Chains A and B, each alone.
Chain A
C-alpha cells in the first residue's frame, strides 16, 4: 500500500516536473556574435531561420581582390528596390575606394544612400531585423553587420470604415498598416506633445503596439496603467487588437466591453484630445481607446459635427432604442403572462384574440423568435452581400409571415421582436448592441419567472454591476455617478459647442480647459 502511495506521489511529482512550462529564451546560439567570416555567418543565419527558401542572399565583389560581401533579406518582406539601389552604390565603389579600406561606420555614412541604417553585431539582432523586413549587409572585411531599413509595407488603400458609417464626417478609416494609422491620427493632431510609446507584444508574433497619449493633457496615471497592463501581457501571438483588449480589460466576466473599439481616425483624435489613451495594434484597422465609459454606448463622433439640438435629440433617441433593445421582449412577456390587467382593456381583447391558437406560453414564443432572428443575423453576416439580402428577405418576411399564419407565434410577438432587432442596430457601435443582445435573454427569463418584479431585479442587478465596473480606474458610469455636473453638459444632451469649455473631468486631464478665453 505504502509503495503504491509512494509511486502515486512520485508519478505526480514527475508529471509536475514535465508540465512546468519552459520559459522560451533565446537559444544560446542566437546570443553569439557575428564572426566576420562571411561564409560561416551566412550558414549560421540560414540555419537559425530554418533554412527557409525565402531568405535571399545576393553576393557582391567590389574589389580587385577577393574581398566580398552579401546582402541578406527575406524576399516578401523587403522592398527589393532599396536593396538594389544600395547594391549599385557599393558596386560603384571600386572606382574610387576599396571595400577593404572601409569600416562599417564609414561604409554606412559615406557610401550607402539610404537614410536609415544601423550596425549590429549579434546573431539575435540580425535575425530579428531580417524578420522585420530589413536587409543585412555582411562582408568579410569587417566583423559587424549593417542593417538597412528596407521594410516593405503592403497596404490596402484607405476606405470608408464599414462598421461605423456616418452621414456627416470624414470618410477615411484605418487600414492594416500601423505607420499609416499613426499618420492618420497625427494629421489630425499636429501637436508636438502627442506621445507615442512603442511596445512589442507576443512571444512569437512580435506584434507592434503603439500607445498614443498627449503629454501634459492625458492623466499620467491612466497612461501608466495602460502601459503596465500592456507590458504584463504574456501570450505567444497577437493577430488582432481584440486579443489585446481582452487581456487588458478589468473584468472579463462582464457582458460590457471596457475598451472602446473604433475604425475612425477622427474618433481617435477626438478621444485623445479629451484625455483618453489610444492603443494602435499593427495589422488591424481596429484601434482601441481606453478608458471606456457608458457614454460611448450612445455617442458617436458625428454628434459633435451636427448642430446641437439635432445631436441631443438623436442621443435621447438612441438611449430609448437601447432600452427597447434591452427590455421590450421581457416587458411583453411579463405583461402577457402576469400582468394582463395593466394593458388597456381594448388592447387586451385584441391581444387575446391574436394569441388565440398559439400553443406556447409567451416566453417560449419570445425565445423562439429571438433565437430565429439571431440566427438570421448571423447568417446574413457570413454570406456574400447579395445573398445576404436575399436571406434577410426570406427570413424576415417569409418566416415572420408564415410563423404567424401557421399559428406558431402571435403577430404582436413579431412586432416586438422586429422592433427589438431594429433598435439594437440603432446604436452607433456594433459591440454595444452585442452586449444588449446578450442581456436580453436573462431579462426575458427573469420576466418569465417573476414578471415585473423579475425585470426590476434584473435592472437592479444590471445597475449594481455597472456601478461596480471600472475601466482603467475610471468608473464605468461616470460622469452620471458620482455626480459631476460639468460632465452632464455632454451626456444625454450635447450642449452648444461653445459651452463645452472644459474636458470631461472624470478623466482628470492635466489640462482641463478646452477653450482658453473666459467668455
Chain B
C-alpha cells in the first residue's frame, strides 16, 4: 500500500512525462525549420525518428551508469568516480550549463510573447514574471514539479495534436515526397534534430528519486518516444502544408501552421493566440526542471540552503538571458546550449561510465 503521507517519490508515469515535457521545449516550435534547413529535403522526419532511436540508446547507457550507484544522483556520485576535485568541477560546469539553458528558455519565451501577444511590453518584464513563477514552483521541490507536469501533459499533447487535426485539410502529400533521398541529407538533418532532444540527460538526476527504480528503462523509452513521435508528426505536417522551401524561411513554423487554421462562423477567428498559452506551458515545464537542476548544483557545490540556492541564480539567469541582442543571437545561444548538452549531458557521463567500469567500482 502506498503511503498517504509520503508520496514525494516519483512514479513511473511521472518520470515518463517528466522526460517528455523537458524535451518538448522551444524545440517543438522551431524544429521543422532547423531540420529542413540542415537536411534540405522533405524526408526530415526520418532524421527525427533516427535521432529519437539514438536518444533511447544514450538513455540506456546513462541508466547503466546510474544503476552502478543506486539512490545517488549524478551530482553525488561523480565525485565518487573521479574524486572530489574533478567531480566538483564537473558539477560546476553542469550547473553553469543549466543556468545558461534556463536563460535561453526564458529569453525564447519572452521573444515569443513579444512577437505574438505583447509587442510593447519590455522583454525584461515578461522574463522576470516568468522567472518568478518558476521560482514558486521550484521551491516546492522536484515532487511538485513532476506532479505539475502530470497536470499539464494531457493539455499540451491534446492541443498540439488538435492543431495537426485542424490543419489536416491543407495537407499535400506531394510536399513531403520523395521519402528517401540518400543517407547524407538524413544524417545532416539528424545533427540539427539533436538540439531538440536536449533534456534527456535529466535521467541522471531523477532516477535516484524514483519509487520503483527498476522500472526506469520502460519510463525512459516512453519518455523519449512520446516527443520523438510528436516531433515527427510536426515535421511531416509542417512540411506537408508549408512545403520545405517556405518552412526554411519561417522563424516559428508551428506557429505559422496554427495561423493558417481558419474556422468560419466560430466564436474566435484567430486560433494561434490560443495556442500560445500552450507553448508558454511547454517552455515553462522545461524551464522548471532546468532551474531546479541549476539550484541543485549550486546547493551541492556551496552547501547552502535550498532557498538561498534558488534565489541566488535568479540574477544569473536574468543577466545571461538579457545578453543576446536580437532573436538571431538568441537562436545561436540555443545551438550552443545544444552542443554543450552533447558534451556535458552525454560525453562526460559516458566517460565517467567508462572510468567506473575500468575501476570496477560499484555501490
Contact = CB atoms under 8 A, between A and B. Distances in A.
A322 interface: no
A461 interface: yes
Among A338, A341, A468: residue with most chain B CB under 10 A: A468
A508 B148 contact: no
B18 to A, nearest CB: 12
Most chain B beta-carbon contacts within 10 A, residue among A221, A344, A455: A344
A381 interface: no
A342 B269 contact: yes
Interface stretch (B133-141, B202-210, B339-347): B133-141
Interface stretch (B7-15, B73-81, B219-227, B240-248): B7-15
A453 B113 contact: yes
Given A221-B4, A482-B14, A508-B1, A450 B151 contact: no
A221, A338, A482, A508 interface centre (most CB from chain B within 10 Å) = A482
B147 interface: yes
Nearest to B277: A456
Given A225-B5, A477-B147, A483-B11, A460 B117 contact: no
Contact of A344 (B13, B129, B267, B284): B267
B5 A221 contact: yes
A93 B115 CA distance: 99
B99 interface: no
A467 interface: yes
A464 B148 contact: yes
A464 B137 contact: yes
A519 B44 CA distance: 51
Contacts of A451: 117-118
Interface in A1-43: none
A447 to B, nearest CB: 12
Nearest to A466: B151
Contact of A481 (B147, B269, B280): B147
A452 B276 contact: yes
Interface in A464-490: 464-465, 467-468, 473-475, 477, 480-483
B270 interface: yes
A342 B270 contact: yes
A323 interface: no
Contact of A482 (B3, B150, B270, B280): B150
The size class of the interface chain B forms with chain A is: 35 or more
B276 A457 contact: no
Contacts of B136: 461, 464-465
Given A480-B151, A483-B150, A457 B3 contact: no
A225 B113 CA distance: 46
B281 interface: yes
A508 B3 contact: yes
A457 B273 CA distance: 15
Contacts of B357: none
Q: By DSSP majority rule, is chain B's interface helix, strand, loop, or mixed?
A: helix
A507 interface: yes
Contacts of A338: 117-118
A292 interface: no
A460 B147 contact: no
Contacts of B152: 463
B121 interface: yes
B69 interface: no
A222 interface: yes
Interface string B272-313: 011011001100100000000000000000000000000000
Contacts of A474: 4
A477 B151 contact: yes
B269 A467 contact: no
B202 to A, nearest CB: 18
A345 interface: yes
A468 B144 contact: yes
A58 to B, nearest CB: 54
Interface in A81-138: none
Contacts of A506: 4
Interface in A344-391: 344-345
Contacts of A481: 147-148, 150-151
9 tightest Cβ-Cβ pairs between the two chains A and B: A473-B5, A481-B150, A468-B140, A508-B4, A456-B277, A464-B137, A467-B148, A467-B147, A481-B147
Interface of B: 1-5, 7, 11, 13-14, 113, 117-118, 121, 126, 129-130, 133, 136-137, 140, 144, 147-148, 150-152, 267-270, 273-274, 276-277, 280-281, 284
25 contacts: A339-B273, A341-B270, A342-B270, A343-B268, A343-B269, A345-B269, A450-B118, A450-B129, A451-B117, A453-B118, A456-B281, A457-B130, A461-B133, A463-B148, A463-B152, A464-B140, A464-B144, A467-B148, A468-B144, A480-B151, A481-B148, A481-B150, A481-B151, A482-B7, A482-B14
